[in-house]
Structure 1
Amino acid sequence: MFNLVGDVSSAARILPDLNGEALFISHAKGAYLWDDKGRKYIDTALGFGAVLVGHADDDINSEVAEALAGSAAPSWAHIREHGAASALAAHTGNLTKVVFNNSGSEAVHLACRIARTYTGKGKIAKMAAGFDGWLDDVAFGNVSTQEAAFKDGERPSTPRTTLLRFNDFDDVERLFQEDNDIAAVILEPMLANAGCIMAAPGYLLHVQNVARKYGALVISDEVLMGFRRHAGLASHLEGLDPDLASVGKAIGNGVPVSAVVGKPEVMAVVEAGRAARGGTFSGNPMACAAVTSTLAKLDAADYKELTARGNELRDSIVEIFKGVGITITTSGYGNVFGIWLGDQEPRNYEEAAKLANPAFTKSLHLALREAGLMIMPSPYGRLYISFEHAPTVIEEMKASFKYAAAKLAGEYAK
């Protein structure tokens, strides 16, 4: 009898058995994982986007270990927190005020609380099928739920959350005409957890403009995409001017840390004590050491080269499957993308739900795992590459995809 529910504490980490055997990871380094049997895998989950520098980076780990040796929980203000906040704020434009948390879900929750306090309004509008954390309010409308697939004339809502259809320009104006209690809209620069659905040209700016017209704030949820495209916020690359942003994952290279960054006038409600914040471990020394050392690494990293490397991999994967008679496409960016069975990437969640093929994705996951490459088994999953995924690693990945394509050809070739 196992005491751990479902073998793992987070449902996102559940994997199918391979040849009747469960997978348990022993350790990781760079671009690779090793299981408890000593088998080696190239990793493309990478802490679900958290590991961007590469697993177990020596410099980052050294800084974190030094912080741990000085006390994991000193209780009071400590010497690393201001430095980490300054390092983060230097990358987030006019969002210059910082509050640290421990997880992306916590950061989104706090951003929503700040928005409600600042505006005096009660509801948060989120993108249907977007993932903004697992806490009750924003878990409403997550991918694969019934309410995420709502149609014209419907508006799934709770007393604290309401939904928007991603890439539907008309639905934005309609929402605010229907409801005058919207404190903020949560935007994701890309609907990542729905399989990397890209925003239509002008859509994100349209949402921001309409929200501002009706007195709502804009929260950019950058827990996943922040610092992945460049050393800063993805929303700023899209020309957006959010009032608040939640960041996490890549800012600590896998060490648990997140933050809310915001404009000073909005964050003033926190400094005044009107929006409660807390957390015994928020802004702890190890997290702050991870942020400071990780951001220094990212400042020196070549994002352009990494993106080009990933886009070349995407093109190769499509050609590999084409060679065995299977048509696939990819969506996203070079260093984070989804794979779809079909010739057209989805433009919205309705199309994504129709394209999603759990059987194909599971078969692909298992075949690649046999070949030493780990991908998410969900049809809405993503492949990440880190700065440790050097050209030699990319070539290894191509070989694994060739193995998997050949194995799946009998069932999926046309």
Structure 2
Amino acid sequence: MAYLVGDVSSSARCFPLMDGKPVAIARSNGPYVWDETGKRYIDTVLGFGGTILGHAPAAIVEAASKALMTNPLPAVNHSSEEAAAAALVHRTGKLNKVIFTNSGSEAVHLALRIARTSTGKRRIVKIAAGFDGWLDGVVFGNVGSAEARFKPGHRPANDFVTVIRYNDFDDVDQLFTEFNDIAAILVEPMLANAACIPAKEGYLAHLQATAHKHGALLICDEVLMGFRLHAGLTSHLYGIDPDLVSVGKAIGSGIAVSAVIGKAEIMKVAEEGRALRGGTFSGNPIACAAVLSTMPALDECDYHQLRTRGDSLRVSIVESFRRHGKTVSTSGYGNVFSIWFSDEPPATYDEGLVLVNNELSMALHLHLRREGILIMPSPYGRMYLSFSHDDGVVEEMKQIFDRVAEAMADIPVASGA
């Protein structure tokens, strides 16, 4: 392309060429997307998790279109902003104050500012290899970085951020012997962007208890996982009430909206003006209309059925590859998971580095794309199912995976970072 840098505005959209040609999506509906040639794909990328109802759900499109036609961008408060905040709070337990933002990165950025202001401390602890947005404050320690893999006694840190290993209880305890300026621990309740690794039993509770013991907060980054496993926060499924959460993606059904939700005693620093919040488009009527129409829609959805479909697909994928002479495993939770060319999925990022297989992951992407399923090309990528992926769609996916497993039977396995 002549004008668009790298052909995309977000590097996450850099999908490989196939037969010398890029893929460019022209339209989408339900579980499907169509490229510029008219080829249809079953979509498992789903806006990187942002379209849990499927593409272009009628109720959300209607509500957003009405907002666009009647009140697209007032410069003052509007009638749906408080209602949209209430719709979130009614589903987020003890977290009862909301600030709307536009992207997941913005929501995390604001949550960190609130935590620093509330505690009077500067340092944020994030998970090694965790992805919490692309802004400067959290790119330290991202997947693939040197900082994400470190030896005991050599914890990477800069003036404002340091990292801990996911699911490592002892590393959390050691952390607070090394630093006395920690404002908050930032964690995904499932390490979704680095292998779909679920938290071990008691790990998130240990994070919060240890943070509180030392005067720090726990921030759950639920931009990706919030409202994906049930109509609320994933952290609640683990039995914890974090101090702050960032949400996005699924709360707007494909329309750009995110939010920080927190406990009143912490969020007051923003209300008092001590922690600056802003944004021309933050909480705009179109975004709020999306939230207001999405929340009741999710309340009516059968999450158990969605998880069951995902589990059934995962079992079928493993069996198809086994039948054709290859061992694969899956990591994740029901309707969001990663595929690994290994006997067992990784339980830590370090294990993932050993098991990662770029060649096979790329081959899987290209074979599936040719057959009509769109997945992420990265070995750390995820497959999502939406509520529009009904039994018929999932059955078609199983058949396609079986054909692809047969086609990949002769590709040698050689793992490692």
**2:296 aligned with 1:296, yes or no?**
yes
The residue aligned with 1:321 is 321
Aligned residues: 414
| Amino acid of the structure 1 residue aligned with 2:27 | H
Identical positions, percent? 57
Give the residue type in structure 1 aligned to 2:225.
Answer: M
| 1:86-101 to 2 correspondences below 5 Å | 86-101=86-101
Counterpart residue identity of residue 407, structure 2: K
For 2:392 and 2:2, locate their aligned partners in 1 and report how far apart those are by CA, in whole Å: 40
Cα deviations across residues 99-152 of structure 1 (Å, max 9, x unaligned)?
000000000000000000000000100000000000011111001111100110
Counterpart CA distance in 2 for 1:400 and 1:76 is: 51
Residue 9 in 1 paired to residue 6 in 2? no
TM-superposition CA deviations, 1:331-362 (whole Å, max 9, x none): 01111000000101101010001111111110
1:202-256 deviations in Å (ceiling 9; x for gaps): 1111111111110100101000000001000000110112110000000001100
**In 2: Cα distance, 1:198 partner to 1:81 partner:** 34
Amino acid at match of 1:287: A
Query: Which structure 2 residues correspond to residues 2-401 of structure 1 after superposition, within 5 A?
Result: 2-401=2-401
Q: CA separation in 2, counterparts of 1:223 and 1:412?
A: 36
d(CA) in 1 for partners of 2:63, 2:198: 36
The answer as to whether partners of 2:93 and 2:241 remain within 8 angstroms in 1 is no
Q: TM-score, normalised by structure 2?
A: 0.98
Give the superposition deviation at 1:72. 2.1
- Determine the C-alpha separation between the residues in 2 that align with 1:276 and 1:122: 16
Specify every segment of 5 or more residues in structure 1 that has no aligned partner in the other structure, as ranges: none
Distance 1:133 1:332 in 2: 20
Distance 2:357 2:254 in 1: 30
Distance 1:370 1:334 in 2: 25
Q: What displacement does 1:71 show?
A: 3.1
CA–CA distance in structure 1, aligned partners of residues 228 and 384 of structure 2: 10
TM-score (structure 1 length as normaliser): 0.99
1:190 is matched by which residue type in structure 2? M
How far apart are 1:199 and its partner, in Å? 1.3
Determine helix, strand or coil for the equivalent of 1:172.
helix
Opposite residue 102 of structure 1, the aligned amino acid is N
1:138 aligned counterpart, secondary structure: coil
Unmatched segments (≥5 aa) in structure 2: none
CA contact (8 A) 2:195 2:349 kept: no
Contact between 2:33 and 2:43, CA under 8 Å: does it hold in 1?
yes
Is the 8 Å Cα contact of residues 325 and 413 (structure 1) preserved in structure 2? no
Q: What amino acid does structure 2 have at the position aligned with 1:254?
A: G
Which amino acid in structure 2 is aligned with residue 388 of structure 1?
A: S
Shift of 1:306: 0.6
Amino acid at match of 1:274: R
Do the aligned partners of 2:186 and 2:218 also contact (CA within 8 Å) in 1? yes
Shift of 1:200: 1.6
Residue 413 of structure 1 and its aligned partner are, at CA, apart by: 7.3
**Matches of 1:318 and 1:119, distance apart in 2:** 47
Query: What is the CA–CA distance in structure 2 between the aligned matches of 1:398 and 1:290, rounded to whole Å?
Result: 32
Q: Distance in 2 between matches of 1:407 and 1:306?
A: 28
Distance in 2 of aligned mates of 1:109 and 1:142: 15
4+ runs deviating over 2 angstroms: none
AA aligned opposite 1:7? D
Q: Residues of 2 paired with 1:108 and 1:247: CA distance?
A: 9
